Amino acid sequence: MYNTLLLAILVISVLLIIVITMQPTKTNSASSALTGGAEQLFGKQKARGFEAVLQRVTVVLGIGFFVLALALAYLTANGMK
């Protein structure tokens, strides 16, 4: 069980790296780097198409990574390798 979860967390982490690097950058100018991109945070820009799919996949993989990390920590703490 431990080895299966460890393999799953490794696969999810590699997929998460790939999905994050595929996402387009949001910065358009040097001013957005200085202000922290606040104009995009409060703007009404919704992701569409491929960008929206990448954002959803990133969230799902992130949640999966977190859950598997907690499960591995629980198994390790209880000595159930």
Token pair for 50: 């491929």
**pLDDT by residue for the chain (81 residues), tens digit each?**
888 999 999 999 999 999 999 888 766 655 555 665 555 555 556 667 888 889 999 999 999 999 999 999 999 898 765
Phi and psi at 79, nearest 5°, equal 70, 30
Q: What is the pTM of this model?
A: 0.69
Question: How far is 62 from 58, CA to CA, in rounded Å?
Answer: 6
